[in-house]
Amino acid sequence: MKPPVFDYVAPESLDGALDALAEHGYDAKILSGGQSLIPLLNFRLAQPGILIDLNRIGGLDEIRLDESGNLRIGGMTRVGTLEREPLVAEHAPLLFETVPSIAHPQIRNRGTVGGSLAHADPSGELPVIAVASGAQLTLRSPKGERTVAAEDFFVGLMTTDLAMDEILVEVSLPPLPPRTGTAFVEIARRLGDYAQAGVAAVVTLGDDDRVADARLVYLSAGDIPMQAPRAVELLRAEGVSEAVIEKAARLAAAEEIEPSDDIHASAAFKRHLATVVTKRALAVAIERARS
Ligand SMILES: Cc1cc2nc3c(=O)[nH]c(=O)nc-3n(C[C@H](O)[C@H](O)[C@H](O)COP(=O)(O)OP(=O)(O)OC[C@H]3O[C@@H](n4cnc5c(N)ncnc54)[C@H](O)[C@@H]3O)c2cc1C
């Protein structure tokens, strides 16, 4: 398939991109890595009148640690950069561990952090990691800047809180509290395929070795990154024995996620896999929190 006819602009400043977006409104689409948008155009699932290419704008791909210890990642940062960046390895181990599971190297080398979050595919890894990490997303419009928590950003199937005139410019990951362990486990038919099931686990242990706080966030498990607050509550109340982990995993998989049948797996099989990945991820995250 070939894309529909569209106009194209490649501004050299963020203000230029925001002006173009404000001028063309819903007729415009932002182009970052193009790894999702171009296939959508080729299949004519999207038919924008104009593409606004962010690739010539400098400064949107910086990775830095701010004075509060937050890891700040520019929206145009290539996903592949994350797996080679020591700051990510040191300050965002959950993200660092997850990146090799995202697509293939060629796609990671073009696809961007901002594009992946804005695309909001519920099978995507980065939306799950953003929610599990308690990330804050910075959105810029001609009116100024606002910050949205990742868990409020994803509002429905491939739908976000982004307004028509906003561009996602930065993601900020807060530092992990002491005695926190993280793990990401997914199951895909082949390395690089979209996962049939996957979970990010973040576990903070108290001095008594009980769970003080935790997050379980699932991909391919509903319209948005799905959380399992009741399973977390169970872990907090009953501890981290193998039996409790089993119970929490079954609760999350049976009652808290909402997978549907698709070409990759049936909903029932995804629930089964969710139990498996939850047990594996919790065991690793707890072990890492202890050490
Ligand atoms: C074969 C294949 C396999 C893949 N496998 C996986 C996988 O396993 N896991 C996974 O997570 N992804 C996968 N992807 C998707 C890939 O990670 C994409 O790169 C990513 O989802 C989109 O990022 P992008 O920069 O290419 O965005 P683009 O394609 O440029 O844009 C995607 C959407 O986001 C909007 N947008 C882009 N940037 C911004 C911004 N800064 N602010 C506001 N809106 C913006 C665009 O207008 C568009 O609607 C795969 C893609 C392919 C082709």
CATH of the domain at 252: 3.30.390.50
Distance from residue 114's CA to the centre of ligand 1 (Å): 8
Whether residue 146 contacts residue 217, with contact meaning beta carbons closer than 8 Å, is answered with no
Question: Do residues 164 and 187 both lie within one domain?
Answer: no
Give the confidence band of 75 by pLDDT, cuts at 50, 70, 90: very high
Domain final residue, candidates 146, 173, 200: 173
Q: What is the CATH number of the domain that holds 16?
A: 3.30.43.10
Domain final residue, candidates 150, 173, 196: 173
Question: Do residues 131 and 74 both lie within one domain?
Answer: yes
In this structure, which residue's CA is closest to atom 38 in ligand 1? 115
What's the mean per-residue pLDDT of the chain?
97
Please state, in angstroms and rounded to a whole number, the distance separating the CA atoms of residues 113 and 287.
29
Distance from residue 69's CA to the centre of ligand 1 (Å): 28
Residue 227 included in any domain? yes
Task: Determine if ligand 1 sits within 6 Å of the CB of residue 148.
Answer: no
Question: Do residues 154 and 230 both lie within one domain?
Answer: no
pLDDT at 114: 98
Question: Do residues 67 and 154 both lie within one domain?
Answer: yes
Task: Determine if ligand 1 sits within 6 Å of the CB of residue 284.
Answer: no
| Mutate-to-test residue for ligand 1 from 36, 56, 60, 184, highest number of ligand atoms within 8 A of CB | 36
Single-letter residue type at 42: N
Residue 58 included in any domain? no
Whether residue 207 contacts residue 199, with contact meaning beta carbons closer than 8 Å, is answered with no
Question: Do residues 107 and 158 both lie within one domain?
Answer: yes
Among residues of the chain, what percentage have pLDDT more than 90?
A: 95
Q: What are phi and psi of 103, to 5 degrees?
A: 50, -140
Question: Do residues 95 and 76 both lie within one domain?
Answer: yes
Task: Determine if ligand 1 sits within 6 Å of the CB of residue 138.
Answer: no
Task: Determine if ligand 1 sits within 6 Å of the CB of residue 198.
Answer: no
Task: Determine if ligand 1 sits within 6 Å of the CB of residue 130.
Answer: no
pLDDT at 31: 98
Q: What's the total number of domains in the chain?
A: 3
Distance from residue 242's CA to the centre of ligand 1 (Å): 38
Distance from residue 192's CA to the centre of ligand 1 (Å): 14
pLDDT at 2: 87
Q: What is the pLDDT of residues 196-236, one digit of tens each?
A: 999 999 999 998 889 999 999 999 999 999 999 999 999 99
* pLDDT, average across residues 32-47: 95
| Mutate-to-test residue for ligand 1 from 29, 108, 119, highest number of ligand atoms within 8 A of CB | 119
Domain final residue, candidates 156, 173, 190: 173
Task: Determine if ligand 1 sits within 6 Å of the CB of residue 225.
Answer: no
Question: Do residues 131 and 184 both lie within one domain?
Answer: no
- List the domain range (segments joined by +) for residue 45: 7-53
E strand or H helix that includes residue 110: helix 105-110
Q: What is the CATH number of the domain that holds 146?
A: 3.30.465.10
In this structure, which residue's CA is closest to atom 6 in ligand 1? 103
Q: What is the pLDDT of residues 101-143, one digit of tens each?
A: 999 999 999 999 999 999 999 999 999 999 999 999 999 999 9
Alpha helices in the chain (DSSP H): 14-24, 37-42, 79-82, 86-91, 93-98, 105-110, 113-119, 125-132, 150-153, 229-238, 242-251, 267-290
